[in-house]
């Protein structure tokens, strides 16, 4: 048997969906999961339960794998360097991944590349936040811990130096950024392989609610071709310059320039399959998960083009009612074309437990179908 073994670190839903995409490829998929109950561990045959922060655990896990990749960006950079020194193929590698792990490193590198970013710099204490504000348009200012944040965690919007105490308590560098008055949020998703092939998905609009992704529309409605092409070129440039292998999500702000024209600024980077790419599971010829696997295996990449004029993804969050399976009856009967993707997670209020995809020719209809299904599953819609 010559089919390779892919080891994925992290047992979340991204690993679950990567396994799903790997089954048709005939590859062997090995999982390092925190617990046997994690989302991916429920559906993968070959699971190692262990702590990704422990180098010996990582080494033992990696020993039988042809390549290691990631469900999340939390593996310590020094561990990844140790694995590489052992001769393990780590994809994306630590030199690339650090740009998704450390926001300060990311901003420095993006500046070098010439990628447009919000005004930013590392700040040392609340007084320094005050100076940062005065250097620009004043408060509010966005503060982010350079490491460890996700889904709005590790991010604060402060209106004064007095409000800026908390971010410094974690003892990690804090990055200050101007609060961008954006028109909307976009994401430019690309996949790059070790030999430098890259594909670009259509630029999508991402709608956040309370700091959590709520809806993704593919492609971003009304986005001028020129701006779409610029966003895709930017993502491809970042992928190349940073040396990304696998899926790269470039989260963007669309802003109105002084002359009224649209501009883009880079908000965040993620080097793994990403929530803004879940629509590709039903909406693109090749999903982000399949292409991530093809990239880390250095296989030729699959066609990223959309299969329908519009695809909409809506995240399913936990509500007050734990029995989402029962809600399938109404959702499936109402919309036979609805694509449900559940993660096997216990329902907790506000927790991402799945997503739905809808696609079709009429954006308003496609969007309404996704909104209804996500709301019905959560329990906020009851008809």
Please tell me whether residue 195 binds a second copy under the rule CB under 8 A: no
Binding part of the chain for a second copy, among 40-48, 108-116, 161-169, 224-232 by CB under 8 A, reads 40-48
Cα separation values, 103 from 32, 99, 100, 176, 270, Å: 25, 7, 7, 10, 11
Question: Cβ 119 to a second copy, closest distance in Å?
Answer: 40
d(CA 204, CA 306) in angstroms, rounded, equals 11
* CA distances in angstroms from 317 to 7, 43, 277, 351, 379, listed in the order given: 28, 21, 17, 5, 9
Tokens of residue 321, six digits: 């009612």
* Burial of residue 36 (number of CB atoms within 10 Å: 0-12, 13-18, 19+): exposed
Token look-up 């299969």 returns 307
Report the nearest approach of a second copy to the CB of residue 34 (Å): 15
Closer residue to a second copy, CB minimum distance, 118 or 277: 277
Among 130, 146, 228, 286, binds a second copy (CB under 8 A): 286
- Is 274 a residue that touches a second copy (CB under 8 A)? no
First to last CA, the chain: 52
- 340 binds a second copy, rule: CB under 8 A: yes
In the complex, minimum distance from the CB of residue 2 to a second copy, in angstroms, rounded to a whole number = 5
Report the nearest approach of a second copy to the CB of residue 300 (Å).
Answer: 4
Q: Both tokens of residue 195? A: 């030999």
Give min distance, CB of 310 to a second copy, in A.
14
Residue 301 in contact with a second copy, rule: CB under 8 A: yes
Strand-pair partners of 161 = none
Looking at beta carbons only, is 179 or 330 nearer to a second copy? Answer: 330
Pattern 44-83, binding to a second copy, x per CB under 8 A?
A: xx-x------------------------------------
41 binds a second copy (CB under 8 A): yes
Least Å distance, CB 30 to a second copy, is 11
20 sits near a second copy (criterion: CB under 8 A): yes
Q: Would you say 55 or 342 has its CB closer to a second copy?
A: 342
- Beta strand ranges found along 193-245 (DSSP E): 198-200, 204-209, 212-218
What is each CA distance from 145 to 151, 277, 362, in whole angstroms? 13, 25, 41
Distance from C-alpha of 9 to C-alpha of 153, rounded to nearest angstrom: 21
Q: Partners of 8 in the beta sheet?
A: 31, 69
Binding residues: 103, 144, 177-180, 185, 267-268
Tell me which residues touch a second copy (CB under 8 A). 1-4, 16-17, 19-20, 23-26, 28-29, 41-45, 47, 199, 281, 285-286, 294, 299-303, 307, 322-326, 328-329, 332-333, 336-344, 346, 354
Binding residues for ATP: 103, 144, 177-180, 185, 267-268
């Amino acid at each position: 048997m010559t089919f390779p073994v892919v080891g994925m670190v992290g047992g979340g839903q991204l690993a679950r969906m990567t396994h799903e995409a790997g089954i048709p490829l005939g590859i062997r998929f090995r999982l390092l999961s925190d617990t046997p109950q994690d989302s991916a561990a429920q559906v993968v045959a070959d699971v190692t339960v262990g702590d990704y922060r422990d180098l010996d655990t990582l080494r033992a896990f990696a020993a039988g794998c042809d390549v290691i990749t990631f469900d999340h960006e939390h593996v310590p950079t020094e561990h990844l360097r140790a694995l590489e020194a052992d001769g393990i193929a780590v994809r994306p590698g630590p030199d690339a991944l650090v740009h998704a792990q450390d926001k300060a490193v990311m901003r420095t590198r993006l500046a070098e590349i010439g990628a447009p970013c919000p005004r930013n710099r590392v700040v040392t204490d609340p007084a320094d936040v005050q100076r940062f504000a005065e250097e620009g348009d004043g408060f509010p200012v966005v503060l982010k811990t350079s490491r460890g944040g996700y889904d709005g965690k590790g991010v604060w919007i402060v209106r004064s130096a007095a409000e800026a105490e908390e971010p410094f308590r974690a003892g990690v560098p804090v990055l200050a950024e101007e609060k961008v008055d954006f028109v909307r949020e976009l994401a430019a998703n690309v996949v790059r392989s070790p030999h430098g092939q890259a594909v670009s998905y259509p630029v999508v609009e991402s709608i956040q609610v309370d700091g959590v992704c709520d809806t993704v529309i593919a492609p971003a409605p009304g986005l001028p071709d020129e701006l779409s092409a610029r966003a895709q070129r930017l993502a491809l440039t970042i992928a190349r310059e940073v040396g990304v292998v696998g899926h790269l999500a470039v989260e963007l702000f669309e802003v109105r320039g002084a002359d009224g024209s649209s501009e883009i600024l880079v908000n965040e980077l993620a080097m793994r399959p990403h929530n803004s790419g879940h629509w590709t599971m039903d909406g693109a010829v090749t999903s982000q998960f399949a292409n991530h696997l093809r990239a880390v295996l250095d296989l030729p990449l699959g066609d990223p083009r959309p299969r329908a004029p519009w695809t909409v993804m809506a995240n399913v969050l936990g509500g007050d009612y734990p029995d989402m399976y029962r809600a399938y009856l109404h959702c499936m009967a109402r919309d036979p074309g609805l694509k449900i993707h559940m993660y096997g997670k216990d329902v907790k209020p506000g927790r991402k437990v799945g997503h739905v995809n809808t696609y079709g020719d009429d954006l308003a209809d496609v969007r309404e179908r996704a909104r209804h299904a996500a709301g019905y599953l959560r329990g906020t819609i009851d008809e």
